[in-house]
């Protein structure tokens, strides 16, 4: 009733353990006849290698850690952007015959767990998602010597290699588009100031506006829909005459649309709205949302490749983004 071992397969095929190991691991220095005999024995016994025994000697596990660092208060992880990244990373890892171990440390205690877990050699590499500035985790993980790659430019002092979309360029394109549409008073709902996606998109916004000599008007959000709605309300209070807003994420943009509706403003007639990400929902809002599309899948795939390659090439990879014009502008 026990699971068959290499030994059992070897006995059945009439060869040694070493040969079975060779066949199972696809070595090409095995006589074809012996190989087929071994494969038959494997099939007959339903042999599956014991991963623990294997990784005990190979020092590798075939798993990659996917760490989503999000404070407990934030429900940011409901952002479809996240699901898409996680899904793509997962699929890409499966292509490479690896598994994703999902970790969502939501407390210092959880972070310590992740650190121990990685230091313990549970995973061959780590992908960091949604890094925040003060997060001590990247530094700790880099110290373990395990390959670490960040999704998005890290803001912390520890700088793992990363891959990101062109956040600054995307924000520039969004704001320029609003200017081209003749908007004069353009506000922004920025992301959290401890995340590069927040900072960079704000920087792009400021850059374009300052080029035209206009004042900037910003309210800070945290990428959630709720914060988008609150920020929009705040902006309307600060400057009732605004006629456009650039939200640093689609989720916040949908919150802004909600707040504008409640305030009785028409979109785009009174206020034009641009988002960022191009999540699925952006096509179904009222009105459909103009937004900056980032190549989520490509970034995710690149990150997987980077971490599987050992994360030794530390030059960042930045993907271009694309403005998708719909009816909200």
Quote the least distance from Cβ 99 to DNA, whole Å. 17
Contact partner, 102, from a second copy, DNA, none, Cβ < 5-8 Å per class: a second copy
63 vs 106 by CB, closer to DNA: 63
Give the whole-angstrom CA distance, residue 173 versus residue 181: 12
Shorter beta-carbon distance to a second copy: residue 137 or 279 = 279
Number of residues counted as binding DNA (CB under 7 A): 27
**Footprint (CB under 7 A) of DNA, residues 10-29:** 14-19, 21-22, 24-25, 29
Angstrom distances, CA of residue 138 to CA of 64, 67, 117, 177: 15, 10, 14, 36
Site residues for a second copy per CB under 8 A: 3, 46, 48-53, 55-56, 61, 63, 66, 75, 77-78, 80, 82-84, 86-87, 90-91, 94, 97, 99-106, 110, 113, 116-117, 119-122, 225, 229, 254-255, 257-258, 261, 279-281, 284, 286
Does residue 119 belong to the site contacting DNA (CB under 7 A)?
Answer: no
Stated as kind and residue range, the H or E segment containing 59 is none
What is the rounded CA–CA span in Å between residue 163 and residue 302?
A: 7
The entry of a second copy, DNA, none that residue 131 binds, CB within 5 to 8 Å by partner kind: none
Closest separation between CB of residue 207 and a second copy, Å? 31
Minimum CB distance to a second copy, residue 41 (Å): 17
Burial group, residue 256, by CB count within 10 angstroms (0-12, 13-18, 19+): buried
Taking the alpha carbons of 252, 255, 260, 263 in that order, is the dihedral positive or negative? negative
Which of a second copy, DNA, none sits in contact with 25, Cβ below 5 to 8 A by type? DNA
Select the binding partner of residue 75 from a second copy, DNA, none (C-beta < 5 to 8 A, by kind): a second copy
Query: Which residues ranging from 32 to 61 are in contact with DNA (CB under 7 A)?
Result: 34, 47, 49-50, 53-54, 56-58
User: What sign for the dihedral angle of Cα 188, 268, 253, 296?
Assistant: negative
Cα dist. 282→28, 143, 194, 324 in Å? Answer: 52, 40, 25, 10
- Contacted entry of a second copy, DNA, none for residue 96, CB cut-off 5 to 8 Å set by kind: none
Residue 97 interacting entry, from DNA, a second copy, none, C-beta within 5 to 8 Å by type: a second copy
CB 159 within 8 A of CB 144: no
Q: How many Å apart are CA 149 and CA 154, to the nearest integer? A: 10
Nearer to a second copy, 75 or 217 (CB): 75
Half-sphere exposure (CA, 13 Å, Cβ side) for 2?
6
The structure tokens listed for 189 are 């709902």
CA distance 196 to 160: 14
Q: How many CA atoms lie within 13 A of 178 on its CB side?
A: 34
Q: Is 263 in the site for DNA (CB under 7 A)?
A: no
Closest CB to DNA among residues 54, 206 = 54
Q: Does 31 bind DNA (CB under 7 A)?
A: yes
- C-beta of 51 vs 108, nearer to DNA: 51
Nearer to DNA, 54 or 181 (CB): 54
Place of tokens 């050699």: 121
Both tokens assigned to 89: 């990373």
Residue ranges binding DNA (CB under 7 A): 2-3, 5-7, 14-19, 21-22, 24-25, 29-31, 34, 47, 49-50, 53-54, 56-58
């Amino acid at each position: 009733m026990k699971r068959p071992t290499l030994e059992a397969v070897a006995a059945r095929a009439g060869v040694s353990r070493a040969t079975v190991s060779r066949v199972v691991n696809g070595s090409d220095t095995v006589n074809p006849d012996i190989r087929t005999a071994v494969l038959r024995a494997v099939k007959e016994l339903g042999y599956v290698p014991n991963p623990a025994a294997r990784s005990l000697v190979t020092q590798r596990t075939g798993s990659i850690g996917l760490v989503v660092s999000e404070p407990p208060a934030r429900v940011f992880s409901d952002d479809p952007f996240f699901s898409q990244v996680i899904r793509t990373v997962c699929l890409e890892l499966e292509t490479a015959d690896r598994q994703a171990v999902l970790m969502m440390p939501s407390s210092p205690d959880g972070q310590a767990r992740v650190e121990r877990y990685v230091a313990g050699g549970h995973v061959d590499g780590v992908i960091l998602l949604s890094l925040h500035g003060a997060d001590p985790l990247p530094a700790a993980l880099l110290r373990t010597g395990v390959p670490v790659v960040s999704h998005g430019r890290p803001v912390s002092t520890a700088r793992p290699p990363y891959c990101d979309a062109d956040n600054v360029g995307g924000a520039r394109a969004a704001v320029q588009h609003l200017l081209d549409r003749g908007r004069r008073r353009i506000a922004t709902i920025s992301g959290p100031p401890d995340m590069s996606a927040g900072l960079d998109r704000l920087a792009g916004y400021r850059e374009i506006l300052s080029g035209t000599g206009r004042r900037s008007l910003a309210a800070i959000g945290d990428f959630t829909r709720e914060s988008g709605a609150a920020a929009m309300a705040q902006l309307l209070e600060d400057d009732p005459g605004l006629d456009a807003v650039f939200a640093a994420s689609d989720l916040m943009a949908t919150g802004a649309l909600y707040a504008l509706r409640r305030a009785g403003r028409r979109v785009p007639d009174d206020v034009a709205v641009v988002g960022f990400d191009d999540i699925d929902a952006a096509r179904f809002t009222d009105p459909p949302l103009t937004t900056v599309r980032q190549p989520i899948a490509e970034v995710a795939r690149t990150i997987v490749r980077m971490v599987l390659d050992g994360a030794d090439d530390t030059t960042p990879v930045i993907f271009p983004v694309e403005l998708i014009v719909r009816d909200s502008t």
